[in-house]
């Protein structure tokens, strides 16, 4: 049990007893998804919360011209969800897609509500993990409009070197908010320093 990715992730953030995990684990179900498959699309209601055992997912936004912006990438030990939609049964404006063949733990609404109301360390884990996400989003929102393309790429290179190697560059460009051409030129310039 101690080698479970899920338990390791809980313990990264809070104290989590074996007995709590024994209550929690059966609430999850494992699924396989293929590369490019969508877990939900804009307009859908999100019915699950996902934990990545293996693979890589992106959440993204599309505008009326069909252009895409990636909100985040998540890999092993990451959570993907749209809880406003999930908890209120309302459609979401965002999309969630696998970028690699992936293996996910899923939990449905009934089980998630049970867990968050009956398994105290899960509740606390969830609150703290959400705050981490929240803080990162706030910083990135500021950076998105204040940084130059070169600064954005340099930051990504420093903060997420493994992600950079794992992802196609056009997806990175859609995350950093620039065209693939601009990213290519920035990389050329940085590389020569």
- Note the residues at the interface with its own copies (CB under 8 A): 59-61, 63, 67, 69, 71-72, 82-84, 87, 92-94, 116-117, 120, 123-124, 126-128, 130-135, 137-147, 177-178
Q: Which option in DNA, its own copies, none does residue 148 bind, with CB closer than 5 to 8 A by kind? A: DNA
Q: Which residues contact 55 (CB under 8 A, 6 or more apart)?
A: 33, 75, 76, 98, 99, 100, 101, 102, 103, 104
Beta bridge partners of 103: 32, 54
CB-CB contact of 55 with 31 (8 Å): no
Q: Given the structure tokens 């908010």, which residue do they identify?
A: 177
Q: Which option in DNA, its own copies, none does residue 17 bind, with CB closer than 5 to 8 A by kind? A: none
Q: What is the maximal distance between C-alpha atoms in the chain?
A: 55
Distance in Å, CB of 101 to its own copies, minimum:
25
Distance in Å, CB of 96 to DNA, minimum:
18
Asked if 168 touches DNA (CB under 7 A), the answer is yes
Distance in Å, CB of 13 to DNA, minimum:
33
Asked if 169 touches DNA (CB under 7 A), the answer is yes
- C-alpha R_g of the chain: 18
Q: Angle, nearest 10°, between helix axes 5-13 and 120-146?
A: 80
CB-CB contact of 107 with 46 (8 Å): no
Distance in Å, CB of 97 to DNA, minimum:
12
Distance in Å, CB of 150 to DNA, minimum:
6
d(CA 113, CA 110): 5
Q: Which option in its own copies, DNA, none does residue 56 bind, with CB closer than 5 to 8 A by kind? A: none
Binding site for DNA (CB under 7 A): 148-150, 168-170, 177-185, 187-188
């Amino acid at each position: 049990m101690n080698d479970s990715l899920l338990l390791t992730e809980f313990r990264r953030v809070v104290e989590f007893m074996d007995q709590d995990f024994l209550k929690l684990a059966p609430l999850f179900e494992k699924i396989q998804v293929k590369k490019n498959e969508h877990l939900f699309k804009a307009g859908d209601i999100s019915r699950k919360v996902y934990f990545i055992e293996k693979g890589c997912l992106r959440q993204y936004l599309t505008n009326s011209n069909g252009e895409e912006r990636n909100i985040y990438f998540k890999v092993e030990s990451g959570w993907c969800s749209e809880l406003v939609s999930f908890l209120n049964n309302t459609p979401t404006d965002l999309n969630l897609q696998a970028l690699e063949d992936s293996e996910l733990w899923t939990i449905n609404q009934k089980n998630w509500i049970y867990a968050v109301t009956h398994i105290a360390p899960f509740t606390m884990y969830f609150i703290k993990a959400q705050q981490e996400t929240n803080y990162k989003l706030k910083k990135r929102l500021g950076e998105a409009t204040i940084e130059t393309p070169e600064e954005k790429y340099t930051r990504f290179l420093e903060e997420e070197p493994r992600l950079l190697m794992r992802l196609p560059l056009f997806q990175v460009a859609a995350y950093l908010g620039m065209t693939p051409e601009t990213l290519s030129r920035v990389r050329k310039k940085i590389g020569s320093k």
